């Protein structure tokens, strides 16, 4: 029996261009739902978390992540290119 190739459910969308081997903030898109999956630095600063919590409750199964500002344009451009095509 031959090895089966894994189907990519979370294709890569964009990565921090200045990412090193140890830190790779990135964005992926779920092909099935169109949901965005963010990989970033976990926010642990109590003041930052309080500001987020003041607007949107952070549930037990949620986390807050930070992406570098330099990724802003890259993420927006990638999202524009993907559009709604990720949702099947």
At 11-24, the pLDDT tens digits run: 888 999 888 777 78
Q: Is position 7 within any domain? A: no
Q: Is position 78 within any domain? A: yes
Q: Is position 88 within any domain? A: no
Q: Is position 70 within any domain? A: yes
DSSP tag of 57 = -
Q: Kindly report the pTM of this predicted structure.
A: 0.75
Cα–Cα dist 29/40, whole Å: 15
Q: Is position 1 within any domain? A: no
Beta strands in 1-88 (DSSP E): 12-15, 26-29, 36-39, 41-42, 65-66
What pLDDT digit, counting tens, does each position of 22-39 carry? 778 999 999 888 899 999
Quick count: other Cβ atoms within 10 Å of Cβ 71?
21
Q: Is position 56 within any domain? A: yes
Range of the domain at 36: 12-18+25-82
Number of domains in the chain: 1
Cα–Cα dist 62/49, whole Å: 12
């Amino acid at each position: 029996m031959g090895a089966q190739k894994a189907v990519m459910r979370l294709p890569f969308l964009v990565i921090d261009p200045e990412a090193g081997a140890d830190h790779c903030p990135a964005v992926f898109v779920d092909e099935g739902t169109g949901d965005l999956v963010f990989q970033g630095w976990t926010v642990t600063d109590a003041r930052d978390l309080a500001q987020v919590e003041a607007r949107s409750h952070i549930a037990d199964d949620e986390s807050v992540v930070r992406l570098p500002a330099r990724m802003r344009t890259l993420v927006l451009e990638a999202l524009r290119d993907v559009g709604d095509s990720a949702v099947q």
